[in-house]
Amino acid sequence: MSEIYYKTIEGIDIERVDEILAGMSKLKVAVIGDIALDIYWRADMTKSELSRETPHFPLPVVEEWMSPGGAGNVAANAAALNPAKISLVGIVGEDWRGNVLKNELEKRNIDTARVVKNKNRFTNTYCKPLRRGISDVEYEDPRIDFENFKSLDSEDEQKLINALKCLSSEVDVLCVTDQMRYGCITNAVRDEIMKLSATGMKVVVDSRDRIGMYENVTLKPNDLEAYKAIGSDKDPKKAGIEELLEIAMTLSKRNRSPVCMTLGSRGCIYVEDDEAYYIPAPKIEPPFDSCGAGDTFLSAFSCAAALGAKGYEAAVIANIAASVIIKKIGMTGTASVEEIKMRLEKKDEK
């Protein structure tokens, strides 16, 4: 392993954070990717009675709520930062879930004019049954997923490409959420994203399985995604910071892209050209829930970077935003400008 020189950045000046956050209201943001609807059903098992028809105890749902997931949650997190405009590009089905999802997005002041509807596709949906009994401990049952298992047709693919071209001159940053096996980021859409980046558009990409296929953009993988992208089968959780820095640097040089690699509770790494930074995560006492933290990180990092923050500065702000969200237990929440400021001032969460 070659030696990599790096700086550890634990924070930046509060006045600098205030300056960056103050600029959010002027920002125009676009998000493209796999939009989903998150549905939560809370069941009170003390009300359950054995079914007369089957040998099962049903889940008596006493509470239901819904929120945007996937790229929709990235857009919701960007909207929580109060930008001048937030536009979403993606695809939903012509089903009740798609209607609910669009309503939830629009309630958050997200422009859905470029969300394509297709009667032959499901609206990606994650249904999450939660159950409680006599104690206050809550358990999540296996999810019920609505996901598409066929490729996007060429007509819808072209609609998404046209939407990107229209937005290219209107926005300051494009966030990409490429998650689904048969999602809206096809090879042609990915090529268009990279073309736009080559012409000067700021693009930040998060991809579960295909982060290594993007070049000349800013990449935001987690540690496991980065390892897979360079063909390593090692366990990143067992790696030290120096090894993780080497992985991020290798991916950055190979793909000619800055890399912001998230490390869960250890924070993140930012590399660009020959500069490398390790940014530890704020100290957070349990309980916490990491669901949605990556979406919060992506939106906060992208928005800060679009306002001229240096890569490590944007990573510090994104770390703080993620530390806000993980304290919101059992929900897909967002981090506002005010919450980020409050969290920064508290230093350690007790």
The 10s digit of each residue's pLDDT in 159-209 is 999 999 999 999 999 999 999 999 999 999 999 999 999 999 999 999 999
> Is 114 in contact with 25 (CB distance < 8 Å)?
no
CB atoms within 10 A of CB 39: 21
What are the structural domain ranges in the chain? 7-37+67-123+149-346
CB atoms within 10 A of CB 69: 26
Q: What is the mean predicted confidence (pLDDT) over 327-342?
A: 84
Would the pLDDT of 348 be above 50? no
- 3-state class (DSSP) for residue 266: helix
Would the pLDDT of 350 be above 70? no
Q: Which fold has domain 7-37+67-123+149-346?
A: UDP-N-acetylmuramoyl-L-alanine:D-glutamate ligase (3.40.1190)
Considering the chain, what is the average pLDDT of its residues?
A: 93
H-helix or E-strand spanning residue 116:
strand 111-118
The 10s digit of each residue's pLDDT in 293-329 is 899 999 999 999 999 999 999 999 999 999 998 887 7
H-helix or E-strand spanning residue 245:
helix 241-255
Residue with token string 């089903």: 95
